[in-house]
Amino acid sequence: MDLTPEERLGIDDVFEVRVLGEKDLSDLYRVAADGTIDYPFVGRVSVIGMRSGDVQEFIAAKLADGYLKKPQVSLMVKEWNSRKVSVIGQVQKPGSVSYFTNMTIVDAIAAAGGFTGIASKNSVTLRREAKGAVQSKTYPVADISEGRAPNVVLRPGDILVVDERLF
């Protein structure tokens, strides 16, 4: 199975660890700038680049080694802050927005506050780096919003450029 980068933890991602019956071991953790978290009884753990299931198994194994009998550990990623989509140009809040699985071009523009009054809503360029080359394609977002064109699923690292309309 080919793992996409989005399945792996990165700096500033936030996840919740729950240990059944152990409130003191259940909490939210943010991946530090050095790619680690500090977990009770386990210490500093490097989680950068790991899948959430791998972290879950690692913590369970460490807790089982002298602390708990058969610990039941669950892990849920709450914020994928290491994964961003940039939305620039004629939107209310240009900049980076946090990516989520199956985020669409409409979702990203909404997260950036929507279009400005002078945005060319049917001229939104998606720039994506793939295999070392940058690909650009323009999409009719107004048509997508009104159901006249299919929505487009984004990937982390994509850049959307919303043009200014010509009067």
Rounded Cα distance, 82 and 43, in Å: 23
CATH number at residue 143: 3.10.560.10
* pLDDT of res. 167: 72
* pLDDT of res. 79: 85
Kindly state whether residues 37 and 103 are assigned to the same domain.
no
* pLDDT of res. 108: 97
* pLDDT of res. 62: 96
Kindly state whether residues 63 and 104 are assigned to the same domain.
no
Mean per-residue pLDDT over the chain, rounded: 92
SS3 assignment, position 141:
helix
- Partner residues linked to 44 by β-bridges: 38
Last residue of a domain, one of 79, 102, 122: 79
* pLDDT of res. 3: 41
Q: HEC profile for 53-121? A: HHHHHHHHHHHHCCCCCCCCEEEEEEECCCCEEEEEECECCCEEEECCCCCEHHHHHHHCCCECCCEEE
pLDDT > 70: percent of the chain: 96
Q: How many residues does the chain have?
A: 167
Q: pTM, whole model, 2 decimals?
A: 0.67
Kindly state whether residues 66 and 94 are assigned to the same domain.
no
Q: What is the mean pLDDT of residues 36-58?
A: 95
Last residue of a domain, one of 60, 79, 98: 79
Number of separate domains in the chain: 2
Kindly state whether residues 75 and 91 are assigned to the same domain.
no
Q: What is the DSSP letter of 149?
A: S
Kindly state whether residues 88 and 158 are assigned to the same domain.
yes
Kindly state whether residues 95 and 60 are assigned to the same domain.
no
Rounded Cα distance, 65 and 61, in Å: 6
Kindly state whether residues 67 and 108 are assigned to the same domain.
no
Kindly state whether residues 95 and 155 are assigned to the same domain.
yes
Candidates 157, 121, 125, 131; CA nearest to 6 is 157
* pLDDT of res. 1: 35
34: containing domain: 5-79
Q: What is the mean pLDDT of residues 118-146?
A: 94
Q: What is the mean pLDDT of residues 57-80?
A: 94
* pLDDT of res. 120: 96
Dihedral angle sign, alpha carbons of residues 160, 122, 104, 149: negative
Kindly state whether residues 58 and 20 are assigned to the same domain.
yes
Model pLDDT for residues 73-130, shown as the tens digit of each residue: 999 998 888 889 999 999 999 999 988 888 999 999 999 999 999 999 999 999 998 8
Candidates 11, 28, 154, 3; CA nearest to 81 is 11
Model pLDDT for residues 4-24, shown as the tens digit of each residue: 445 789 999 999 999 999 999
Kindly state whether residues 19 and 70 are assigned to the same domain.
yes
CATH number at residue 17: 3.30.1950.10
SS3 assignment, position 52:
helix
* pLDDT of res. 130: 82
Q: Sheet containing 133-139: which strands, arranged edge to edge? A: 95-98, 84-89, 159-164, 119-130, 133-139
Sequence-separated (6 or more) residues with CB below 8 Å from residue 159: 85, 86, 87, 88, 126, 127, 128
Last residue of a domain, one of 79, 103, 127: 79
Kindly state whether residues 135 and 89 are assigned to the same domain.
yes
Kindly state whether residues 42 and 111 are assigned to the same domain.
no
* pLDDT of res. 2: 41
